[in-house]
Every structure is written in structure tokens, then in C-alpha cells.
Amino acid sequence: YETTSTALAFTTYLLAKHQDVQENLYQEIKQLIDRGEKLEYASINKLPYLDKVLCESMRMYPPVHL
């Protein structure tokens, strides 16, 4: 589970550092909720910006070094 916590820690750091990205992600999640959908595992596919944020975070700070 250390890799998951590392990935989330760096993602949180990057979102704090880049508040424009944080705002865009917030708006994407807010739109989902405003449509009456629940924020749950099944709705992850409806959040493409979240996917991009997580992928970029793991590209910049991979939780496992090869």
C-alpha cells in the first residue's frame, strides 16, 4: 500500500502547487455531482481530467523506481 500512498501524496502536492489544475479538477467533479450522479467507483470513467491528472502525477513522480 506504500505505492498508493506515495502516488496520492505526490498528487496532492502537485494539486496544491498548481491551483489552476486543482480548480479544473474541482469543476469536473462538481459537474458530475450537479448532474445528480454520485461520486463513486463506477463514475471514475466519467472523469477524464482526473485520469490525466493522476497519470501526469505518476509520470513525474513514479511510486516505484525501475
**Mean pLDDT per segment of 10 residues, for the chain of length 66 residues?**
91 98 98 95 95 97 84
Q: Of 14, 48, 6, 9, which Cα lies nearest the Cα of 29?
A: 48
pTM: 0.87
- The pLDDT value recorded for residue 64 is 85
Helix (H, G, I), strand (E, B) or coil at 8: helix
- Dihedral sign (CA 8, 12, 17, 20): positive
